[in-house]
Chain A
């Protein structure tokens, strides 16, 4: 379990080591063919800032070599904004007095039809954590309902036990995204004061349970803004490295959500500039040629247009972050504000104009 490895690292030591990297360390990391976690530290360190263009060029080449000129498309489908947890940064938090809504079977189908109509074949099902209303059985039913419309089903919901994952995989689930939010244990406690999510260790070991359950793909990440993003990203990369060695038949993706405004508002403790986000994306690519790097509509359109060439391999578009947001009830409360409001079609045109193929389907349920 990753926990065992995790507790061998000390947050402050890792942080100090990242911030003490020098230009020399960065140059060595850039010159290598294979890069270690120490090299990753150098690449995300402040010392790497002057090397950003060089990192971008390398990241571009490596991404092209492994993924070709393609960008995969997906979009989220929010099933419910019910949540029993308090998370200081989320609009669905229990203490946020908003109207709660959970899609019925019939509403799920209407949303699925609409999303499919936009061209998507990869869907990401999202709920809050409310085991009574949107527990494993609800999610299983939702997977069964949307299965006829999509070739790849991912979900981002509460962490589960191994046998629950097995049941959902059997029902057609392909990918699970589970972000640690932050690897800073004390800060994690502060941001998750109430609810099951406050169990840091259970969350940290979720990818292990997924690996054991034999999931096709696991998505990792932290919520950028809660803590020092460099240190958090090091722990993410270490987690990825461990998982790739241990559950070697599973694929992995990384996301970089930056804390966005939402109703109830927490100011980010740490700001990450656009330049730093580019640095982080390139650093991941230089560290791991295989990992999928995913970008959401949280980011600005100009940023999204340009990052296509820098290492990203999948993107969402036309996203709604409220239950029923596509057709059922477009005005319900969003989880966070999105920044790129363009339609999926507009986004796809932009991707094509840069000489990339837009991949709508890259999996088939028959393969599972």
Chain B
């Protein structure tokens, strides 16, 4: 009992909770007025593109309803596309499509999208179905193919790296891998597994799934602990470059490792979550102390 109390009292030495994250990391480093830069994927992507940071190629941005028909014609030359709402959250509204026959698109699970259905989906995005009613934009972009390193862990969905940086210095990183439960999404809330990253050595460490540490993927059974991450130093470099482009000093950068083009930034987050502490078995404050001389 006494021991537990001592543990609890000591926790604030190394752990960061939501209150402290907001008061000492987010508010002082990320002025509210710059949040849209991170929240709006179109805006974020244009900043990154302009500065030569690798991002998935944009095929089209749909701003208005009347553009949809033209854009649907333009994308007929692509074999594979991803459609995303610019301001979506939790992976809502994201659609990965292959073109089977001309104008006939289908998802991984075999759902068919013809012109009308595609039109309707894009219109829904514009009307804000996936962004709580606010008017939104839709991005249509290059569909990434996960690197064999990633498919070697689990071959469905697209895993991504999350790197948290403070004032341009990487603090912690993790790899988020979809599971059967997460339905192809690399979202921890939806049941994806988080895997720790040893940033110095460029290897993945333990995975954290259902409050337990594991060394293998719960569905595929593939071991990953200790595997070397390909292109890790480039991934880290890209994350640093990205953080310098945004007036947000406390930033989560999401990077996907593409089979053909290497690491690419897909999203930045101005209030990254705290689960990364559990996944890496280290408190955020500790890693600040370790990485940043104040």
A and B co-occur in one complex: no
A residues engaging B (CB < 8 A)?
none
B residues engaging A (CB < 8 A)?
none
